[in-house]
Amino acid sequence: MLNKKIASMLNDQINKELYSAYLYLDFADYYAAEGLDGFANWYEVQAKEERDHAFMIRRYLLSNGHSVVLEAIAKPDKTFKTLLDPLEAGYAHEQYVTSLITEIYHEAFGQKDYRTMQFLDWFIKEQGEEETNADDMIKKFKLFGSDAKGLYALNQELAARVYAPSATGPAM
Ligand code: FEO
Protein backbone atom coordinates (compact mmCIF):
# COMPACT_ATOMS: atom_id res chain seq x y z
CA MET A 1 0.00 0.00 0.00
CA LEU A 2 1.06 3.54 -0.64
CA ASN A 3 0.89 6.43 1.76
CA LYS A 4 -2.60 8.00 1.64
CA LYS A 5 -1.42 11.43 0.55
CA ILE A 6 0.71 10.02 -2.26
CA ALA A 7 -2.14 7.80 -3.44
CA SER A 8 -4.44 10.83 -3.41
CA MET A 9 -1.95 12.96 -5.38
CA LEU A 10 -1.58 10.19 -7.94
CA ASN A 11 -5.35 9.86 -8.17
CA ASP A 12 -5.56 13.62 -8.87
CA GLN A 13 -2.87 13.26 -11.50
CA ILE A 14 -5.05 10.78 -13.41
CA ASN A 15 -7.59 13.58 -13.75
CA LYS A 16 -4.91 16.06 -14.82
CA GLU A 17 -3.63 13.70 -17.51
CA LEU A 18 -7.15 13.09 -18.82
CA TYR A 19 -7.70 16.85 -18.84
CA SER A 20 -4.47 17.18 -20.83
CA ALA A 21 -5.90 14.72 -23.37
CA TYR A 22 -9.07 16.81 -23.51
CA LEU A 23 -7.12 20.03 -23.90
CA TYR A 24 -5.03 18.68 -26.78
CA LEU A 25 -8.10 17.28 -28.46
CA ASP A 26 -9.50 20.81 -28.28
CA PHE A 27 -6.31 22.15 -29.90
CA ALA A 28 -6.66 19.48 -32.61
CA ASP A 29 -10.24 20.57 -33.27
CA TYR A 30 -9.17 24.20 -33.53
CA TYR A 31 -6.48 23.40 -36.11
CA ALA A 32 -8.80 21.06 -38.02
CA ALA A 33 -11.29 23.94 -38.31
CA GLU A 34 -8.46 26.16 -39.58
CA GLY A 35 -7.65 23.60 -42.29
CA LEU A 36 -4.33 22.58 -40.73
CA ASP A 37 -4.76 18.82 -40.58
CA GLY A 38 -1.08 18.23 -39.79
CA PHE A 39 -1.26 20.36 -36.66
CA ALA A 40 -4.54 18.63 -35.79
CA ASN A 41 -2.87 15.24 -36.22
CA TRP A 42 0.03 16.21 -33.96
CA TYR A 43 -2.33 17.13 -31.14
CA GLU A 44 -4.52 14.08 -31.66
CA VAL A 45 -1.43 11.92 -31.13
CA GLN A 46 -0.55 14.01 -28.09
CA ALA A 47 -4.04 13.50 -26.67
CA LYS A 48 -3.61 9.72 -26.99
CA GLU A 49 -0.29 9.90 -25.16
CA GLU A 50 -1.91 11.86 -22.34
CA ARG A 51 -4.66 9.28 -22.05
CA ASP A 52 -1.93 6.64 -21.80
CA HIS A 53 -0.28 8.56 -18.96
CA ALA A 54 -3.58 8.48 -17.05
CA PHE A 55 -3.85 4.72 -17.62
CA MET A 56 -0.29 4.17 -16.39
CA ILE A 57 -1.00 5.97 -13.12
CA ARG A 58 -4.32 4.14 -12.76
CA ARG A 59 -2.50 0.83 -13.23
CA TYR A 60 0.11 1.80 -10.63
CA LEU A 61 -2.57 2.59 -8.04
CA LEU A 62 -4.47 -0.61 -8.74
CA SER A 63 -1.26 -2.67 -8.63
CA ASN A 64 -0.59 -1.24 -5.20
CA GLY A 65 -3.99 -2.13 -3.79
CA HIS A 66 -5.61 1.30 -4.13
CA SER A 67 -8.98 1.98 -5.63
CA VAL A 68 -9.23 4.76 -8.20
CA VAL A 69 -11.77 7.59 -8.03
CA LEU A 70 -12.47 9.14 -11.41
CA GLU A 71 -13.47 12.78 -11.06
CA ALA A 72 -15.18 15.03 -13.62
CA ILE A 73 -12.90 16.34 -16.35
CA ALA A 74 -12.96 20.11 -16.74
CA LYS A 75 -14.07 21.65 -20.02
CA PRO A 76 -11.18 23.17 -22.00
CA ASP A 77 -11.95 26.88 -21.92
CA LYS A 78 -9.23 28.43 -24.04
CA THR A 79 -10.09 30.68 -26.94
CA PHE A 80 -7.51 31.24 -29.62
CA LYS A 81 -6.93 34.39 -31.62
CA THR A 82 -3.89 33.26 -33.58
CA LEU A 83 -2.42 29.97 -34.81
CA LEU A 84 0.40 30.44 -32.33
CA ASP A 85 -1.90 30.61 -29.28
CA PRO A 86 -2.45 26.84 -28.79
CA LEU A 87 1.29 26.19 -29.13
CA GLU A 88 2.03 28.67 -26.36
CA ALA A 89 -0.84 27.36 -24.21
CA GLY A 90 0.53 23.83 -24.73
CA TYR A 91 3.99 24.81 -23.55
CA ALA A 92 2.60 26.55 -20.46
CA HIS A 93 0.42 23.52 -19.76
CA GLU A 94 3.36 21.12 -19.93
CA GLN A 95 5.32 23.31 -17.54
CA TYR A 96 2.35 23.14 -15.18
CA VAL A 97 2.17 19.33 -15.48
CA THR A 98 5.90 19.13 -14.77
CA SER A 99 5.31 21.10 -11.57
CA LEU A 100 2.57 18.62 -10.54
CA ILE A 101 4.78 15.57 -11.16
CA THR A 102 7.59 17.30 -9.26
CA GLU A 103 5.29 17.86 -6.28
CA ILE A 104 4.36 14.18 -6.14
CA TYR A 105 8.01 13.23 -6.49
CA HIS A 106 8.90 15.61 -3.69
CA GLU A 107 6.27 14.05 -1.45
CA ALA A 108 7.47 10.53 -2.29
CA PHE A 109 11.04 11.57 -1.50
CA GLY A 110 9.96 12.98 1.86
CA GLN A 111 8.12 9.76 2.67
CA LYS A 112 11.05 7.59 1.51
CA ASP A 113 8.65 6.00 -0.97
CA TYR A 114 11.35 4.81 -3.35
CA ARG A 115 8.91 2.70 -5.33
CA THR A 116 6.83 5.71 -6.29
CA MET A 117 9.97 7.70 -7.04
CA GLN A 118 11.07 4.94 -9.39
CA PHE A 119 7.62 4.92 -10.98
CA LEU A 120 7.73 8.68 -11.45
CA ASP A 121 11.22 8.67 -12.97
CA TRP A 122 9.65 7.82 -16.32
CA PHE A 123 7.27 10.79 -16.02
CA ILE A 124 10.08 13.17 -15.05
CA LYS A 125 11.93 12.21 -18.23
CA GLU A 126 8.74 12.33 -20.30
CA GLN A 127 7.97 15.84 -19.04
CA GLY A 128 11.42 16.99 -20.10
CA GLU A 129 10.73 15.67 -23.60
CA GLU A 130 7.25 17.14 -23.75
CA GLU A 131 8.45 20.58 -22.72
CA THR A 132 11.18 20.41 -25.36
CA ASN A 133 8.67 19.35 -28.02
CA ALA A 134 6.27 22.15 -27.07
CA ASP A 135 9.06 24.72 -27.14
CA ASP A 136 10.30 23.40 -30.52
CA MET A 137 6.82 23.78 -31.97
CA ILE A 138 6.79 27.46 -30.97
CA LYS A 139 10.26 28.06 -32.39
CA LYS A 140 9.42 26.38 -35.68
CA PHE A 141 6.15 28.25 -35.97
CA LYS A 142 7.89 31.56 -35.38
CA LEU A 143 10.49 30.71 -38.00
CA PHE A 144 8.20 29.32 -40.72
CA GLY A 145 4.59 29.97 -39.76
CA SER A 146 4.23 33.51 -41.06
CA ASP A 147 4.88 32.48 -44.64
CA ALA A 148 2.24 30.40 -46.48
CA LYS A 149 4.79 27.99 -47.98
CA GLY A 150 6.54 27.58 -44.65
CA LEU A 151 3.26 26.94 -42.88
CA TYR A 152 2.32 24.37 -45.52
CA ALA A 153 5.63 22.55 -45.05
CA LEU A 154 5.33 22.64 -41.26
CA ASN A 155 1.80 21.28 -41.49
CA GLN A 156 3.11 18.42 -43.68
CA GLU A 157 5.84 17.67 -41.13
CA LEU A 158 3.35 17.53 -38.26
CA ALA A 159 1.04 15.30 -40.29
CA ALA A 160 3.75 12.63 -40.19
CA ARG A 161 3.58 12.12 -36.43
CA VAL A 162 2.32 8.60 -35.70
CA TYR A 163 0.89 7.40 -32.42
CA ALA A 164 2.87 4.55 -30.91
CA PRO A 165 2.04 3.18 -27.48
CA SER A 166 5.02 3.70 -25.22
CA ALA A 167 7.24 0.62 -25.45
CA THR A 168 8.96 1.41 -22.15
CA GLY A 169 6.45 2.50 -19.57
CA PRO A 170 7.24 3.46 -16.01
CA ALA A 171 8.49 0.93 -13.47
CA MET A 172 5.52 -0.59 -11.61
FE1 FEO B 1 1.20 13.69 -19.44
FE2 FEO B 1 1.96 16.08 -21.28
O3 FEO B 1 1.96 15.32 -19.63
Considering the domain boundaries, does residue 168 fall inside one?
no
C-alpha Rg value of the chain to the nearest Å: 17
Query: Which pLDDT band holds residue 106 (cuts at 50, 70, 90)?
Result: very high
Cα 148 to ligand 1 centre (Å)? 31
Total count of residues recorded for the chain: 172
Considering the domain boundaries, does residue 155 fall inside one?
yes
Cα 76 to ligand 1 centre (Å)? 15
- The pTM score is 0.95
Considering the domain boundaries, does residue 171 fall inside one?
no
Considering the domain boundaries, does residue 17 fall inside one?
yes
For 7-50, write each residue's pLDDT tens digit: 999 999 999 999 999 999 999 999 999 999 999 999 999 999 99
Considering the domain boundaries, does residue 15 fall inside one?
yes
Considering the domain boundaries, does residue 96 fall inside one?
yes
Q: Which of 68, 66, 65 is nearest to 18 (CA)?
A: 68
Pocket of ligand 1 (CB under 6 A): 17, 20, 50, 53, 94, 97, 130
Return the CATH number at 97.
1.20.1260.10
Dist. CA 165–CA 167, nearest whole Å: 6
Considering the domain boundaries, does residue 40 fall inside one?
yes
* CA-closest residue to ligand 1 atom 1: 50
Domain holding 49, by residue range, is 4-69+79-159
Q: What is the DSSP string of 10-64?
A: HHHHHHHHHHHHHHHHHHHHHHHHTT-HHHHHHHHHHHHHHHHHHHHHHHHHHHT
> What is the per-residue pLDDT for 1?
85
| pLDDT greater than 90 at residue 116 | yes
> What is the per-residue pLDDT for 172?
76
Instruction: Please identify, by atom number, the ligand 1 atom nearest to the C-alpha of residue 49.
Output: 1
Give percent above pLDDT 90 in the chain: 93
Instruction: Please identify, by atom number, the ligand 1 atom nearest to the C-alpha of residue 53.
Output: 1
Cα 65 to ligand 1 centre (Å)? 24
| pLDDT greater than 80 at residue 167 | no
* CA-closest residue to ligand 1 atom 2: 94
> Region 140-146: what's the mean pLDDT?
95
Considering the domain boundaries, does residue 34 fall inside one?
yes
Query: Which pLDDT band holds residue 113 (cuts at 50, 70, 90)?
Result: very high
The average confidence (pLDDT) of the chain is 96
Instruction: Please identify, by atom number, the ligand 1 atom nearest to the C-alpha of residue 94.
Output: 2
Number of structural domains found in the chain: 1
> What is the per-residue pLDDT for 95?
98
